[in-house]
Chain A
Amino acid sequence: GQNIDQPTEMTATEGAIVQINCTYQTSGFNGLFWYQQHAGEAPTFLSYNVLDGLEEKGRFSSFLSRSKGYSYLLLKELQMKDSASYLCAVPGGGFKTIFGAGTRLFVKA
């Protein structure tokens, strides 16, 4: 089966860097997604990693280690608008996507 673990909540300061970790267990790996979800809104796509290493996209970067079943999302130069939930997700066999419970990030001034 599939299992995803993420911290429930994190707090960071505006302008700082924060790393949100995700560990997963899946039978047959086919990539890992990160989505952002502001309160009361729909999830929006941030990144997709299928190979090991770091992929950078502006202030956001995502890292994957397939051998360790581990990923992280790195947010730099934090802004207040980055306060949101960050969802880690993996394809779960068939055509389903399995989402973690999400990490709620609070950015304080």
Chain B
Amino acid sequence: GAGVSQTPSNKVTEKGKYVELRCDPISGHTALYWYRQSLGQGPEFLIYFQGTGAADDSGLPNDRFFAVRPEGSVSTLKIQRTERGDSAVYLCASSPGRGGSYNEQFFGPGTRLTVL
């Protein structure tokens, strides 16, 4: 079956612009995570959704970052007034069931965001 997909695969934008990154999880997975990964580092947690609700958004670095999952499947990560420090690979992952921390996460290929 299809895995987690993310679009676009690459996004280049200018400082101060707004970007949206999309994640399409595995069908039936209720848990969805967003991470960002800088070169040479592990994924850094941003936000976790269980269904439509953001159950844990403690990893969002500031109020320029926002994510939605209106119908409990596709999710969009939105970044306002982008800064050069936002450049990273943004990874999405999904897993079945609740209590996501205990479940294997299935990762998408990521969106490489470059802010010039």
Residues in chain A within 8 A of chain B (CB atoms): 4, 30-31, 33, 41-45, 48, 50, 87, 89, 91-92, 94-102
Q: How far is the CA of A44 from the CA of B108 in the complex (A)?
A: 10
A30-B101, A95-B48, A95-B55 are known contacts. Are A43 and B107 too (CB-CB below 8 A)?
yes
Pair A45/B45 contact, Cβ less than 8 Å: no
Count B-side interface residues using an 8 Å CB cutoff. 28
Pair A101/B110 contact, Cβ less than 8 Å: no
Q: State how many angstroms separate the Cβ of B107 from the closest Cβ of chain A.
A: 4
Pair A42/B110 contact, Cβ less than 8 Å: yes
- If over half of A's interface residues share one DSSP class (helix, strand or loop), that class is named, otherwise mixed; here it is loop
Pair A42/B42 contact, Cβ less than 8 Å: no
Pair A102/B41 contact, Cβ less than 8 Å: yes
Contacts A30-B101, A99-B44 aside, 16 further interface pairs with beta carbons under 8 A come to: A4-B42, A30-B102, A31-B101, A42-B107, A45-B104, A87-B43, A89-B42, A92-B101, A94-B58, A95-B48, A96-B59, A96-B101, A97-B100, A97-B105, A98-B45, A99-B45
Considering only CB atoms, which chain B residue lies closest to A4 in the complex?
B42
Q: How far is the CA of A99 from the CA of B50 in the complex (A)?
A: 20
Q: How far is the CA of A8 from the CA of B105 in the complex (A)?
A: 23
Pair A31/B58 contact, Cβ less than 8 Å: no
Pair B101/A42 contact, Cβ less than 8 Å: no
Pair A91/B102 contact, Cβ less than 8 Å: yes
Residues of A near B50 (CB, < 8 A) are 95
**B40 CB–A CB distance under 8 Å:** yes
